[in-house]
Structure 1
């Protein structure tokens, strides 16, 4: 036998035997090849606190109600991305917080929960956006929460306390990040800062343009360093922004992402941009299904902005992931599960907005009428009375982002009877999470990784 023919045949047979029966006989067995080469630009996208159930429900809602699949899942179906599961643990726990998680991406090492790129003995690990700035690239961060919050900060600064947001706002100015967009007016405005420092004036002296609303974003001066602060605290939830006139001048995450890319895309040395859907996490903490799904879909629109740019550009690596799970929501089996889940499309507001409008002087009829107006849910009298007991001071509910002690858990349990969605908790979980990578460098993504591996992947892909 001809040895070369035998070896060639063996190699072909070996390749065939690695295919599943479905793949072997499928006429659609065409995998888009991962582009090899150097990534000039990197867009790192984080849907903060996104459990797999959140990704699944957003796609299901998009299909059932909007008539189209979600952009993230479409990338899987079209085989355009490399895909992995990621272990999200921190140095101090199998369940991370956002500061340690972002530090894993940003500093490349696991740190304790609550700190940003700082070791147990005060060691400082140089954040990755600083590395890229030193290499001559432009760098930016965009989020739907305060721009000084843990996830964007983990890519940029060192801090022993994640809550040192007034100081982080000053650090950003020192670093001269090229694009900074999100909420957090209280950390820049001298009338709201305890030390009365005017951070807006500091940024103006460094030749930043200051944006305060959607109109300003749409009339942005191209190529100029940009600070966009669009609210006190976090930006409004997407469903409330869509349905309440007071939030119409707040930009969407996709609009901020597009503007940020346009600000930096022509730089000869390229750019790096972190995009965070921060309120996905906050809505999971509140067990607020309408807020969760709509903010995940808002993040999904930003995914399309990033991947559309990357596809056209050809030199951009897009990484799409989360930093950890939260509350592990999911649909529950039942005869009317589909119909009940689809009823979420009747919800006009977040639970935060709906519950904030209830006062202790409401009657049972008042609260029943208001809940029906907001969610098309017909409360039973005992449910209305139990909700009212929170406003009369008889009961209280804690929670990370529940400053007003609203009855989020109780109300989500009431909703569950109608929408077939359940939750395991109101806090972070240690589940493995999804990672997708598109563009040059995506071939470096292995099927199972630790969160710190993404730091190394970015450096390898960019070859700095």
Structure 2
């Protein structure tokens, strides 16, 4: 009887959840605080550190404390009690472990969809993305990212598509939207010399009245008279640790914080406000590669963008800032009690990512050359046997990881590196972890202590008083 009642009650609970979502217009009974929050925000800055496990946030803060004597902006918001903090369930419609397309669609369309889909339901129907809703309501809208602007996370706020992988098509889907700012990587999806169909998508955007920018200098000169498309690299932008040690990259490619500041500048004077998505996308790519320096310095770069967004919101008084991730990835952590401080402190002087090192190895590279290169780039000396174990994989190219087209030995390098940095990894894949979620500014009181990812869709609409 008890078991039967349990399943009976469980079924009713599931039905109740689906029929009476607490944020649905039919069921919402707002508290006085929530009523005050309704429509209180003019602008929204939605910030996503893609693929950020809790360990990533923790270690980035530890690195900043030990290297620069300061804490991260994200952690300082917690310590100073300036934000509403929550925990978020990240599942997709068909898996406890989501991908970025389904997770961004949960926010963007308000409905959980299957992994790989962008606001596309299993029955063939589509969900209207939130930036289209805000654009139709008179707000300026945009996305900035460190991966291709056509990638899953920005796309989930912008368009519908049955396949996140069709980035060439997604580039064309952006064309008629006239969104105000779209900046990141992804030149290969707009440039006729890179596209398989040889279509000059840049020309199509120019004909439609867009400003096209390809360099940091061009970005800084932009005005807000026309919509903007910026693509600063063929694929994703360089890892921050590599960018910071290459003057040529610094001249050509803007940082995420610089793109964030420029996007706010271009949209802030709109009478009806603006909504901006900011993605630290390379955090996820580094996690998939078990690339500790790539991961932590890109998380710090994302944190600098948080700092810029919060500074604007503090001065503006009308801006809701939401800070989160779409899912964990790799679950990295700092382990061990013997010399772990000393080992971790090596990260302070790293000049290059694992990605830079492994992609710099050429045919015929010797073990001694690899040892010297790693010592110069990351400050520790691997053994001759360790160097040989890496080089042998260049004979068969059998490495794993999603963003590893050359099949390089990222997993092995990450494992070897743990001996020197004390940073270990659980996986090269996404996790089902509940994730950090924080909200600052007007409308933040709408946030509950524990939320389902889809609830952020209506929260954003309600915070701005946007009726669809």
TM (normalized to structure 1)?
Answer: 0.91
Whether 1:403 and 2:405 are equivalent positions in the alignment is yes
Q: Secondary structure at the residue paired with 1:262?
A: helix
Would you say the 8 A contact 2:105–2:113 is kept in 1?
yes
Using the alignment, how far apart are the partners of 1:402 and 1:362 within structure 2? Answer: 20
- Shift, 1:412, TM fit: 1.0
Query: Of residues 302, 308, 312 in structure 1, which corresponds to 2:315?
Result: 312
Query: Of residues 258, 261, 266 in structure 2, which corresponds to 1:263?
Result: 266
Aligned to 2:86: 84
Q: Secondary structure at the residue paired with 1:38?
A: coil
Query: Of residues 147, 150, 153 in structure 1, which corresponds to 2:149?
Result: 147
The two structures, once aligned, show a CA RMSD in angstroms of 1.3
Aligned to 2:15: none
- Shift, 1:360, TM fit: 3.4
- For structure 2, the residue ranges without an aligned partner over 5 or more in a row are 1-32
- Shift, 1:391, TM fit: 1.7
User: After the TM superposition, which residues 122-133 of structure 1 pair with which residues of structure 2 at under 5 Å, given as runs?
Assistant: 122-133=124-135
- Shift, 1:326, TM fit: 0.2
Whether 1:368 and 2:383 are equivalent positions in the alignment is no
Q: Secondary structure at the residue paired with 1:160?
A: coil
Would you say the 8 A contact 1:223–1:264 is kept in 2?
no
Would you say the 8 A contact 1:39–1:317 is kept in 2?
yes
User: After the TM superposition, which residues 369-448 of structure 1 pair with which residues of structure 2 at under 5 Å, given as runs?
Assistant: 369-393=372-396, 396-448=398-450
- Shift, 1:460, TM fit: 0.8
Q: Secondary structure at the residue paired with 2:321?
A: strand
Using the alignment, how far apart are the partners of 1:185 and 1:357 within structure 2? Answer: 23
- Shift, 1:346, TM fit: 2.5
- Shift, 1:403, TM fit: 0.8
- Shift, 1:245, TM fit: 3.2
Whether 1:289 and 2:292 are equivalent positions in the alignment is yes
Aligned to 2:68: 66
Would you say the 8 A contact 2:141–2:275 is kept in 1?
yes
- Shift, 1:380, TM fit: 1.2
Using the alignment, how far apart are the partners of 1:388 and 1:187 within structure 2? Answer: 33
Using the alignment, how far apart are the partners of 1:392 and 1:170 within structure 2? Answer: 39
Alignment deviations for residues 151-195 of structure 1 (CA, whole Å, 9 cap, x no partner) = 000001010000111111111111111100001111111121122
Query: Of residues 300, 303, 317 in structure 1, which corresponds to 2:303?
Result: 300
Q: Secondary structure at the residue paired with 1:272?
A: strand
Whether 1:56 and 2:50 are equivalent positions in the alignment is no
Query: Of residues 253, 256, 263 in structure 2, which corresponds to 1:253?
Result: 256
- Select between 315-324 and 363-372 the one with higher mean Cα deviation: 363-372
Alignment deviations for residues 218-245 of structure 1 (CA, whole Å, 9 cap, x no partner) = 2112343111111100111111111123
Would you say the 8 A contact 1:224–1:263 is kept in 2?
no
User: After the TM superposition, which residues 191-270 of structure 1 pair with which residues of structure 2 at under 5 Å, given as runs?
Assistant: 191-248=193-250, 249-270=252-273
- Shift, 1:124, TM fit: 0.6
Q: Secondary structure at the residue paired with 2:398?
A: coil
Query: Based on CA coordinates, which of the two structures has the bigger radius of gyration?
Result: 1
Q: Secondary structure at the residue paired with 2:400?
A: coil
Aligned to 1:342: 345
Whether 1:111 and 2:113 are equivalent positions in the alignment is yes
Q: Secondary structure at the residue paired with 2:457?
A: helix
Aligned to 1:454: 456
- Shift, 1:335, TM fit: 2.0
Using the alignment, how far apart are the partners of 1:208 and 1:392 within structure 2? Answer: 46
- Shift, 1:255, TM fit: 0.3
Whether 1:325 and 2:351 are equivalent positions in the alignment is no
Alignment deviations for residues 408-450 of structure 1 (CA, whole Å, 9 cap, x no partner) = 1111111101111110000100000000001111000000001
Using the alignment, how far apart are the partners of 2:334 and 2:428 within structure 1? Answer: 16
Using the alignment, how far apart are the partners of 1:358 and 1:244 within structure 2? Answer: 18
Aligned to 2:25: none
- For structure 1, the residue ranges without an aligned partner over 5 or more in a row are 1-32
Would you say the 8 A contact 1:98–1:323 is kept in 2?
yes
- Shift, 1:362, TM fit: 1.7
Q: Secondary structure at the residue paired with 2:392?
A: helix
Would you say the 8 A contact 1:211–1:228 is kept in 2?
yes
Using the alignment, how far apart are the partners of 1:208 and 1:53 within structure 2? Answer: 40
- Shift, 1:123, TM fit: 0.8
Using the alignment, how far apart are the partners of 1:445 and 1:101 within structure 2? Answer: 18
Using the alignment, how far apart are the partners of 2:382 and 2:43 within structure 1? Answer: 52
Alignment deviations for residues 299-352 of structure 1 (CA, whole Å, 9 cap, x no partner) = 000001111111111111110000000000001022211111111122210101
Would you say the 8 A contact 2:400–2:410 is kept in 1?
no
